[in-house]
Amino acid sequence: MPQGIAGLLPIILMVVIFYFLLIRPNQKRQKNVQNMQSNLSKGDKIVTIGGLHGFIDSIDDTKVVLKCGDGSRLTYDRSAIREVLESKAASSPVTEK
């Protein structure tokens, strides 16, 4: 009986290692991306997955309208936003009373 458990121990160890090295970091990254995309707001400076830089002009559940440098407006899927360079909410000063 102990040899049966000893034979399974390397397989169990490999599954645990794969979980902590591959699966868990990927889940954390996906959670961060979903959180970033759900917190987008008008005026945020963003970069798309294609490398386009712009400001969010309007936003709804699935689409984002970006204002580019020359004043043109482009419509993208919300999932095409790679990162927020500058958040309008974070850059505006908050006054406490």
Task: Note the pLDDT of residue 90.
Answer: 61
Q: Please state the domain count of the chain.
A: 2
| CATH code (residue 83) | 2.30.30.520
Query: Cα Rg for the chain, rounded, in angstroms?
Result: 22
Report if residue 23 sits inside a domain: yes
Give the tens place of pLDDT for each residue, 9-32. Answer: 999 999 999 999 999 999 999 999
Report if residue 97 sits inside a domain: no
Within 10 A of 48 (CB to CB), how many other CB atoms are there?
17
pLDDT for residue 51 is more than 90: yes
Cβ atoms of 77 and 63 closer than 8 Å: yes
CA distance between the termini of the chain? 70
Residues 30, 46: one domain? no
pLDDT band (50, 70, 90) for residue 59: very high
Residues 64, 33: one domain? no
Report if residue 19 sits inside a domain: yes
Task: Note the pLDDT of residue 7.
Answer: 84
Q: Are strands 81-86 and 45-48 parallel, antiparallel or unpaired?
A: antiparallel
Residues 51, 81: one domain? yes
Q: Which domain holds residue 33?
A: 1-38
Report if residue 9 sits inside a domain: yes
Mean pLDDT of 39-59: 94
